[in-house]
Amino acid sequence: MRCPYCSHDETQVAETRESDEGDVVRRRRRCLKCDKRFTTYERAEMAFPSIVKKSGARVDFDPAKLRGSMTLALRKRQVSIEQIDAAIERIQDKLMGTGAREVPSTRVGELVMRELKRLDKVAYVRFASVYRSFEDVDEFSRLIKDI
């Protein structure tokens, strides 16, 4: 590990701790040249499936885009960050659990809608109105009646 202060290549691990969940390792390091300390985090690299758009284009799964969409739907609603994080984690787990190399974007959209329906009905309707791009009021009112 290269020192972020002096760019020296040799550092020494002074302390190692695992997170409570056991999915992150935190290491305190000390540079052998400048003697400054810094922290590194070690996580398992997750290989999410590629997302196949309706146009046929393939893009990498982007958790930040997922978070942005959900946050926008949940704007000004009484849902905590922890609840959003848990929902995103469940979506990611389901995507990883498929074992597939590619997943249609419609599947991701349905997973988001399922989580939003659990968290907040108004956010669910907000997201569904954009995601399903209703053509008329009758389709929209059918969605609301289903809730």
> What are the residue ranges spanned by the domains of the chain?
11-43, 50-146
Tens of pLDDT, residue by residue over 35-88, are 999 999 998 877 889 999 989 999 999 999 999 999 999 999 999 999 999 999
| In the predicted structure, residue 2 carries a pLDDT above the cut 80 | yes
Cα 15 to its chain centre, rounded Å, is 29
Q: What's the pTM value of the predicted model, to 2 decimals?
A: 0.62
Burial of 25 (0-12, 13-18, 19+ CB in 10 A): middle
Tens of pLDDT, residue by residue over 98-145, are 888 999 999 999 999 999 999 998 898 888 877 766 666 676 677 777
